[in-house]
Amino acid sequence: MSKVNLKSLNKAGLESLFKREGLPPFRAGQMLHWIYERGATSIGEITEFSKPLREKLSQAAYISNLGLKDRKVSEDGTEKYLFELEDGNCIESVLIPDEKRLTLCISSQVGCYAACRFCLTGEMGFIRNLEAYEIVDQVISVKRLIAPKEITNIVFMGMGEPLNNFDNVVEALWRLTELAGFSKRRITLSTSGVVPKLPELPQKAPAVNLAVSLNAATDEVRSRIMPINKKYPLKMLLDALRQYPLPPRSRITFEYVLLADVNDSDEDAKRLVKLLRGIPSKINLIPFNEYEGSEFKAPQEGRVLAFQKILTDAGMTALVRKSKGRDILAACGQLRAGYEDK
């Protein structure tokens, strides 16, 4: 009989397992604390349990861990982690320092369906969804690696489209907020716009922040650089977002990757103002992060600032996001998880 991976069980599943083993409910609570808050890597580490109890549980169960294959540190302090999963597939996570914040960017899939033309991850294609525990394990693993420093924010902006792995992502969000102690206000989920899942998200998941990868103000351009737009065009996406229930004083973040001579003109900026009118929003402008072999180029700084000025003059909140970790391929759109040779 194979052993049960305790991280593969949700809270109710873990409680049921402990009940079958003849253990009182509080023991399951202790185990959850050790896994999600203290980052235990094995049952043997749980000193609240007697040695006979640890040995008994070890015969039936184990605690899985991501394998750290590589850790790169950028000249700006950004760190990129290459993790190996139990099946041999790999994913990447990125830790981004910014003043008093330490933001961890995590992956939700191995590869990605979306195949956005400006994103290196898309060149991998889609391999598989991550399980909920594999998503959360990125947080647990990095927290252990950087101790005593603490992760302050989590963003679902790594490899994959979170809403194409809906059930596992929702379960991961509940574990992060209920078991690992992260505030929902410090977690952001980014999507390329899987419209049918947008109404479900606030019904089934904690009320985390929502970001939308927009990147164009016309269907023609967006469909060219983001194939998902052919299935869920701008009007359908924005209609869904206008109905999205936001907590008080909350806004939807729109991410806009600026590609030279593709989506960065004054006319594009003016169209964007009209497009987002009526949606509580802020816009993150991200000059394209170039990589070898890319068909796109980053716009000049003056073009970026001119684009931003049109938005701010129209009363919109528009920030130019400084990309970090470019020297280690850890910036936005550069994650590929060491699959270059596969």
The domain locations on the chain are 4-62, 67-328
How many angstroms separate the CA atoms of 140 and 123, rounded?
28
Give the number of other CB atoms < 10 A from CB of residue 341: 4
Share above pLDDT 70 across residues of the chain, in percent, rounded to a whole number: 94
Among residues 15, 79, 92, 255, the one annotated as catalytic is 92
- Residue 222 in this model has a pLDDT that exceeds 90: yes
Tokens found for residue 307: 């684009």
Instruction: Please tell me the predicted confidence (pLDDT) of residue 124.
Output: 82
Tokens found for residue 38: 């203290």
How many angstroms separate the CA atoms of 253 and 317, rounded?
10
Instruction: Please tell me the predicted confidence (pLDDT) of residue 255.
Output: 97
123 is catalytic: no
Mean pLDDT of 198-225: 97
Instruction: Please tell me the predicted confidence (pLDDT) of residue 305.
Output: 97
DSSP 187: E
In which band, very low, low, confident or very high, does the pLDDT at 331 lie, cut at 50, 70 and 90? low
**Of 144, 145, 191, nearest to 165 (Cα)?**
191
Mean pLDDT of 253-272: 97
Which strand (E) or helix (H) includes residue 188?
strand 187-191
- CA 226, distance to chain mean position in Å, is 18
Q: pTM (2 decimals)? A: 0.94
Three-state DSSP state, 107: coil
Q: Look up residue 154 and give its amino acid.
A: I
Got the DSSP string for 244-293?
Answer: --PPTT--EEEEEEE-TTTT-SHHHHHHHHHHTTTS-EEEEEEE----TT
For 4-62, CATH number? 1.10.150.530
Q: Look up residue 314 and give its amino acid.
A: A
Instruction: Please tell me the predicted confidence (pLDDT) of residue 294.
Output: 83
Q: Which fold has domain 67-328?
A: TIM Barrel (3.20.20)
How many angstroms separate the CA atoms of 66 and 197, rounded?
29
Instruction: Please tell me the predicted confidence (pLDDT) of residue 330.
Output: 59
Instruction: Please tell me the predicted confidence (pLDDT) of residue 328.
Output: 64
Could you check whether 4-62 and 67-328 share the same CATH topology?
no
112 is catalytic: no
Instruction: Please tell me the predicted confidence (pLDDT) of residue 118.
Output: 86
Mean pLDDT of 219-236: 97
Mean pLDDT of 240-259: 95
How many angstroms separate the CA atoms of 290 and 260, rounded?
11
Three-state DSSP state, 167: helix
Mean pLDDT of 164-173: 98
DSSP 96: E
Least confident of 16-20, 73-77, 103-107, 121-125: 121-125
